[in-house]
């Protein structure tokens, strides 16, 4: 496979770090973005060809800083093949408590608006390249089914799914594929903070391997682990367009 130029947000831990490791093993040149520079530097030091990769210590709510990182990476890598808007936050929110409402702003800004802010600075180059580039959004099974006690998070992920579907239709004439990954219960720091036990967590490395196949194949949607899609289908819980079986 031709070595790829890949930009990943939220690369300092969990799913983003696992995706970075998998792409690096395939020979990719990476642009890795998160707030914690020390974690990004440590990750890059352990990857093959660390000198190829760039770290950007940026908060995804700072759209100008994302655009600057994108410009630097495009100049460094000479183009772009895959952009993964993976950075995300989760927090319990209960609408009945007024003090939880400001948390909605943080979650929507980080999960939804930053997805658009991450894609935006790469689109002109992708159109000009006319190579089969990919924009990848991270939804969630919570965005399809809902998750009690995490209303802001579920709403943000439902919005990411809807946003990516509209963008997919808009980008189709340019040969740019928009892929929405919908993880369900992956073993990462995000799921480990839960105070209750979460059975059937999938290792982030296995998720990343499946995700790379779906991204390369240009799937519109992928529910990973796929068994969650099967269960949902059997129970008739998902709308047709979201099956990935």
**Number of residues counted as binding ligand NDP (CB under 6 A):** 30
Catalytic residue, chosen from 153, 196, 221, 243, is 153
Based on the shown chain and the rule CB under 6 A, indicate whether residue 185 belongs to the binding site for ligand NDP: yes
Number of neighbouring beta carbons within 10 Å of residue 193: 9
Based on the shown chain and the rule CB under 6 A, indicate whether residue 86 belongs to the binding site for ligand NDP: yes
Does 153 qualify as catalytic in the annotation?
yes
Alpha carbon separation from 84 to 52, 67, 76, 97, 144 (Å, rounded): 18, 14, 18, 34, 20
Rounded CA separation 122/240 (Å):
31
Alpha carbon separation from 162 to 128, 157, 158 (Å, rounded): 26, 9, 6
Based on the shown chain and the rule CB under 6 A, indicate whether residue 118 belongs to the binding site for ligand NDP: no
Based on the shown chain and the rule CB under 6 A, indicate whether residue 154 belongs to the binding site for ligand NDP: no
Give the residue, chosen from 31, 121, 137, 183, that forms a contact with ligand NDP under the rule CB under 6 A.
183
Based on the shown chain and the rule CB under 6 A, indicate whether residue 191 belongs to the binding site for ligand NDP: yes
Based on the shown chain and the rule CB under 6 A, indicate whether residue 115 belongs to the binding site for ligand NDP: no
Ordered DSSP codes for 43-98 = HHHTSSSGGG-EEEE--TT-HHHHHHHHHHHHHHHSS-SEEEE-------B-TTSG
Site for ligand NDP in 13-72 (CB under 6 A): 13-16, 34-36, 39, 59-61
For ligand NDP, the closer CB: 132 or 146: 146
Kindly state the DSSP code that residue 10 receives in the 8-state scheme: S
Based on the shown chain and the rule CB under 6 A, indicate whether residue 88 belongs to the binding site for ligand NDP: yes
Based on the shown chain and the rule CB under 6 A, indicate whether residue 174 belongs to the binding site for ligand NDP: no
CB of 211 to ligand NDP, least distance (A): 10
Summarize as ranges the residues that interact with ligand NDP (CB under 6 A): 9-16, 34-36, 39, 59-61, 86-90, 110, 138, 140, 183, 185-186, 188-191
- Give me the active site residues, please: 153
């Amino acid at each position: 496979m031709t070595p790829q130029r890949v930009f990943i947000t939220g690369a300092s831990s969990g799913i983003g770090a696992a995706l970075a490791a998998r792409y690096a093993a395939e020979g990719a040149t990476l642009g890795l973005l998160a707030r914690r520079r020390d974690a990004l530097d440590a990750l890059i030091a352990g990857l093959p060809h660390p000198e190829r990769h760039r770290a950007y210590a940026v908060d995804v709510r700072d759209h100008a800083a994302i655009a600057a990182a994108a410009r630097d990476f495009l100049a460094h890598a000479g183009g772009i093949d895959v952009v993964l808007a993976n950075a995300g936050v989760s927090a319990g929110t209960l609408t009945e408590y007024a003090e939880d409402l400001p948390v909605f702003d943080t979650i929507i800004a980080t999960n939804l608006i930053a997805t658009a802010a991450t894609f935006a600075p790469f689109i002109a180059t992708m159109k000009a390249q006319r190579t089969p580039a990919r924009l990848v959004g991270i939804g969630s099974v919570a965005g399809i089914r809902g998750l009690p006690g995490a209303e802001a998070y579920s709403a943000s992920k439902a919005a990411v799914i809807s946003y990516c579907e509209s963008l997919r239709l808009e980008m189709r004439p340019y040969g740019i594929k928009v892929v929405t990954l919908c993880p369900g219960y992956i073993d990462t720091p995000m799921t480990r903070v839960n105070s209750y036990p979460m059975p059937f967590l999938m290792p982030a490395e296995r998720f990343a391997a499946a995700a790379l196949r779906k991204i390369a194949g240009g799937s519109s949607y992928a529910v990973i682990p796929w068994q969650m899609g099967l269960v949902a289908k059997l129970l008739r819980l998902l709308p047709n367009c979201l099956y990935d079986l």
